[in-house]
Amino acid sequence: MRLRCLLPGLTLALASSAALLASAASFAQEGWPAKPIRLIIPFATGGSNDVIGRRIALDLSQRLGQPIVVENRGGGGGTIGAQAVATAPADGYTLLFMSSSLATSAAVQKTPYDPVRAFDPVSRVAAAPFVLVTRSDLPVKTFPEFVEYAKANPGKLNYGSAGLGDNSQLATELLNDLAGIRTTAVNYKGTGPALLDLVAGRIDLTITSIASIRGTVADTLPKIAFTGAQRDAEFPDIPTISESGLDYVVELWWGVFAPAGTPAPIRDRLNQEIAAVVKDQGFATFLKSAGAIPSPSTSEELRADVAGDIARWSETAAKAGLKTN
pTM of the model: 0.80
Task: Provide the pLDDT for residue 46.
Answer: 84
ω into residue 265 within 30 of 0, thus cis? no
Residue 239 DSSP label: P
Separation between Cα atoms, residue 273 and residue 255, nearest integer Å: 13
Task: Provide the pLDDT for residue 67.
Answer: 98
Task: Provide the pLDDT for residue 241.
Answer: 98
CB atoms within 10 A of CB 103: 26
Task: Provide the pLDDT for residue 26.
Answer: 47
Ranges of the chain whose pLDDT falls below 50: 1-7, 10-27
Task: Provide the pLDDT for residue 18.
Answer: 47
Exposure string over 260-289, b if 16+ CB within 10 A, otherwise e: bebbeebbebbbebbbebbeeeebbebbee
